[in-house]
Amino acid sequence: MRQAKQILPEGNVETGSKRAPLIFLMVVTGYLMIAWADAMMIDMTSDKIFPVTVASVTLVCCFALLIRMIRAPESDAAFADRELGDDGVADHGLWPTLAWFLGLLVLSSLLGFIIALALFFVAFFKLRARLHWPKALALSAAGIAFICAMAWTLNRDFPPGLLQAFVKLPWSFT
């Protein structure tokens, strides 16, 4: 029982230095502070509640983690880096992964968010996840249905693309 703190939940995971995790945490915390301040400027209270609550809770967690990281030695589990060992060999590299998201952004600017997201889901599930067509289409449809349901519930519109400047489309495509 006395040595329970020394047992890492993932087994023996190599740890890196404190510098990179601390810098990353500081960048995330800075972004959240800006997002919180931006959300506080929203005039309508019903639109303000969700982003302010999420940012506030996340900021509290960031500050708690920051205190832990400052006080803990480099061998602490907070600095565990799965990429240092054998698990760091990923199936897909960083740049091809970022290219997927760049493709989503380009398609969104041209076709609108929902059409681009539908194409992205199908392509991602088929090409990257290597799923069969029925499962890729079913998961894509489920994802789009969930996002549309959330947008309808929150009374939100999706970002339009260049296509919407020329063609009038119904809600969720506009």
- Name the phi and psi angles at 77, rounded to 5: -65, -20
Per-position DSSP letters for 156-173, written without gaps between them: --PPP-HHHHHS---TT-
C-beta separation of 131 from 83 below 8 A = no
Over the stretch 125-165, which tens digit does the pLDDT of each residue have?
A: 999 999 999 999 999 999 999 999 999 998 888 999 999 99
Claim: this prediction has a pTM higher than 0.85: no
Rounded mean pLDDT, 37-64: 93
How far, in Å, are 36, 46, 104 from residue 43 at the CA level?
14, 9, 31
**Among the ranges given (14-23, 103-112, 113-122, 123-132), the one the predictor scored with the smallest mean pLDDT:** 14-23
With residue 19 as reference, give the H or E element that holds it: helix 19-40
> Residue 75: its pLDDT value, please?
78
Amino acid letter at 132?
H
Q: What pLDDT band is residue 2 in, cutting at 50, 70 and 90? A: low
How far, in Å, are 3, 15, 31, 33, 116 from residue 22 at the CA level?
27, 13, 14, 16, 35
Over the stretch 65-88, which tens digit does the pLDDT of each residue have?
A: 999 999 988 877 777 766 655 545
Nearest to residue 16, comparing CAs of 63, 80, 59? 80
Give the Cα separation of 82 and 89 in Å (integer).
10
**Among the ranges given (13-17, 37-41, 100-104), the one the predictor scored with the smallest mean pLDDT:** 13-17
